[in-house]
């Protein structure tokens, strides 16, 4: 994973709450077995409407999405994060994120910056008044700014550290392989295994 410290890019105002992962990428795009190339599925249904924000010129090149509350609800599909990242987004700003989406984003280096809804609305105004305005997100300082407006955002310290360092979770966990093996010895015998019945 690429380390993340600061990012500056075109901010995209998405005035919708409850943006579920079926909207971020519909199920039909989930049949692929690759890990890249999901940008065509991003907001596929909404992008069919030419008035949709990502079809407007300065926003097309956006990399900081500023959305309404409860972003990423619903399905656990990590494809939603891949679609956003493949399109070019590095940051999503929202007042509330669904837990699984937030977790998935953290694994892929997509920053979920949780702001107050009033700050989101301030950002929306700025981005709508001057389309193409750059938004700067500073993970070290935990701030998001546009023009002369700056807001603080929340992110848990562990995810922040992993993003700043660009660390891979599996490698971190495997440092504790001995503890895992030790734990396994203490599991009760009655716990089930999936080995087919009758097999050795």
Partner 1 sequence: MARTLAEKVWDAHVVRRGEGDEPDLLYIDLHLVHEVTSPQAFDGLRLAGRPVRRPDLTIATEDHNVPTVDIDKPIADPVSRTQVDTLRRNCEEFGVRLHPMGDAEQGIVHVIGPQLGLTQPGMTVVCGDSHTSTHGAFGAMAFGIGTSEVEHVLATQTLPLRPFKTMAITVDGELAPGVTAKDVILAVIAKIGTGGGQGYVLEYRGSAIEALSMEARMTICNMSIEAGARAGMVAPDETTFAYLSGRPHAPKGEEWNAALENWRQLRTDEGAEFDAEVHIDATSLTPFVTWGTNPGQGLPLSERVPDPEAIADENERVAAEKALAYMDLTPGTPLRDITVDTVFLGSCTNGRIEDLRAAAEVLRGRQVAKDVRMLVVPGSMKVRAQAESEGLHKVFIAAGAEWRQAGCSMCLGMNPDQLRPGERSASTSNRNFEGRQGKGGRTHLVSPLVAAATAVRGTLSTPDDLF
200 binds partner 1 (CB under 8 A): no
170 binds partner 1 (CB under 8 A): yes
- Whole-number minimum distance, CB 17 to partner 1, in Å? 5
Binder of partner 1 out of 2, 57, 188, 200 (CB under 8 A): 188
* Residue reference for tokens 């494809």: 79
Cβ pair 92, 42 in contact under 8 A: no
DSSP structural state of residue 27: G
Dig out the tokens for 2 from the structure.
Answer: 């690429």
156 binds partner 1 (CB under 8 A): yes
**Which positions from 98 through 127 interact with partner 1, judged by CB under 8 A?**
98-100, 103-104, 107-108, 117
Span of 5-13, 57-65, 133-141, 150-158 interacting with partner 1 by CB under 8 A: 150-158
CA distance 37 to 7: 22
CA distance 79 to 51: 25
The footprint of partner 1 on this chain (CB under 8 A) covers a number of residues equal to 64
Site mask for partner 1 (CB under 8 A), range 67-86, x = bound: -xxx--xxxxxxx-x-----
H/E segment holding residue 11: strand 6-14
Site mask for partner 1 (CB under 8 A), range 24-43, x = bound: --xxx-xxxxxx--------
DSSP structural state of residue 15: -
CA distance 46 to 50: 8
In whole angstroms, what separates CA 189 from the centre of its chain?
40
Nearer to partner 1, 51 or 196 (CB): 196
CA distance 12 to 66: 6
Measure the N-to-C terminal CA separation of the chain; round to a whole number of Å: 41
User: Which residues of the chain form contacts with partner 1 (CB under 8 A)?
Assistant: 15-18, 20, 22-23, 26-28, 30-35, 45, 68-70, 73-79, 81, 96-100, 103-104, 107-108, 117, 156-158, 161, 169-170, 172-174, 176-177, 179-180, 183-184, 187-197
């Amino acid at each position: 994973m690429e380390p993340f410290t600061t990012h500056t890019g075109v901010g995209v105002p998405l005035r919708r709450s409850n943006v579920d992962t079926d909207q971020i990428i519909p199920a039909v795009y989930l049949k692929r077995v690759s890990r890249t190339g999901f940008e065509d599925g991003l907001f596929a249904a909404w992008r069919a409407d030419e008035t949709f924000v990502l079809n407007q010129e300065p926003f097309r090149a956006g990399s900081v999405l500023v959305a309404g509350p409860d972003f990423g609800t619903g399905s656990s599909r990590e494809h939603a994060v891949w679609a956003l990242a493949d399109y070019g987004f590095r940051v999503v700003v929202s007042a509330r994120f669904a837990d699984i989406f937030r977790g998935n984003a953290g694994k892929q280096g997509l920053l979920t910056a949780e702001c107050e809804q009033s700050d989101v609305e301030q950002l929306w105004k700025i981005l709508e008044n001057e389309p193409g305005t750059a938004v700067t997100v500073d993970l070290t300082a935990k701030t998001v700014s546009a023009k002369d407006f700056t807001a603080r955002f929340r992110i848990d310290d562990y995810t922040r550290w992993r993003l700043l360092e660009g660390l891979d979770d599996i490698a971190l966990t495997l440092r504790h392989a001995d503890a895992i093996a030790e734990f396994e010895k203490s599991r009760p015998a009655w716990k089930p295994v999936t080995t087919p019945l009758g097999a050795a």
